[in-house]
Amino acid sequence: MTTPPSIELRDLCFAYPDGTRALRGVSLSVAQGESVAIVGGNGAGKSTLVQHLNGYLMATQGEVRVGGKPIARETVAQVRRAVGLVFQDPDDQLFMASVFDDVAFGPLNFGLSPEAVEKRATAALERVGMLHLRERPPHKLSAGEKRAVAIATVLAMSPEVLVMDEPSSNLDPCGRRRLIHLLRSFDHTKLIVSHDLELVVELCPRSILLDGGVIVADGPTVELFSNEALMLAHGLERPHILRHLHPHG
C-alpha cells in the first residue's frame, strides 16, 4: 500500500464573510517528509491557504485532506494534533498569562503528566532560545520574542506536519539562523510561507507561487526563483543568494 500524501488540496475555494474571494480553486499535494514553500505577494492568499490545513478555516468549496482523511468537524481535533500551525500574527497564538503556560497549553490538552508537560515546554523554549522568558506575560514581549515563543508553542506539540506563516519575520539574524537550523533538523513534512526567499532557498527544494488565490507555478525552488520574469510578474524578486549558486548545483 502506498502512503497517502501528507497534505492534499482539491479545488480549494474560500470566500471571507464579506465576499472577498481569497482562494479560487487551489489543488496541490505534499508528500510525507517534503519541505515546500508557499510564496507570493501581499494578499495572494497564502495565509488563507495555510489556515485551512488545521481546520482553522473551512473550505467554501473543494476539499482538504491530511494524511488521506478529509478535514471535517469530526476529524478537526485529530488534525490539530497532527498539524502544528504557526500563525503570521503571534497575537493569534499567545493568550495565556505567562510564556510557560502558553507553551504548556497544547501538551496539557493532550493529557500528558505535569512532569512530561514541564519537560516538553522547557525543551521547546530552549530550542528557540527563549527559556529565560518563561515567567513573562506574552503580550509584553518584543515582536521577535513573541515570534520565537509562538514557534515554541507549536514545537511543544510535536506535530507530524509543521506549517509556518512567515516564521522568520521580526527575528534577529541570530534567531533567524537558529530557526533555519531547527527547521533543517525537523525531518517531518513542512510547509513554509515566507517573503524571506533566501530562507526558502536554504530549506525548501520545492516552491509554490500563489497570486490572486490561484497557483501560478509549482516546481523546484531554484528554477522558479531564477525565472526573473515570473518573479517580477507576481510581486517578487530573484533572491540575491541565487547569484552565488551554481545553476546546476
Contact with Mg ion (CB under 5 A) among 47, 75, 78, 170: 47
Residue 161 is placed in which grid cell?
A: 506536519
Identity of the residue, 99 or 200, whose beta carbon is nearer to Mg ion in the bound complex: 200
Query: What does the longest C-alpha to C-alpha distance in the chain come to?
Result: 54
Minimal distance, residue 207 CB to ligand ATP, in Å:
14
Residue with cell 516546481: 219
Query: Are 215 and 208 contacting, i.e. CB atoms less than 8 angstroms apart?
Result: yes
Minimal distance, residue 132 CB to ligand ATP, in Å:
30
Contact with ligand ATP (CB under 6 A) among 47, 78, 169, 226: 47
- Indicate the pairing of strand 21-30 with strand 61-66: unpaired
List the single partner that 192 binds among ligand ATP, Mg ion, none, CB under 5 to 8 Å by kind: none
Which of the residues 127 through 186 are near ligand ATP (CB under 6 A)? none
DSSP 18: T
Contact with ligand ATP (CB under 6 A) among 40, 106, 107, 138: 40
Gap between the Cα atoms of 175 and 36, Å rounded: 21
Which of the residues 84 through 103 are near ligand ATP (CB under 6 A)? 88
Other CB atoms within 10 A of residue 167 CB: 27
Query: Are 149 and 125 contacting, i.e. CB atoms less than 8 angstroms apart?
Result: yes
Identity of the residue, 130 or 151, whose beta carbon is nearer to Mg ion in the bound complex: 151
**Partners of 190 in the beta sheet?**
35, 162
Identity of the residue, 20 or 109, whose beta carbon is nearer to ligand ATP in the bound complex: 20
Other CB atoms within 10 A of residue 91 CB: 11
Identity of the residue, 108 or 214, whose beta carbon is nearer to ligand ATP in the bound complex: 214
- The site for Mg ion (CB under 5 A) is made up of 46-47, 88
- The site for ligand ATP (CB under 6 A) is made up of 16, 18, 20, 22, 40, 42-48, 88
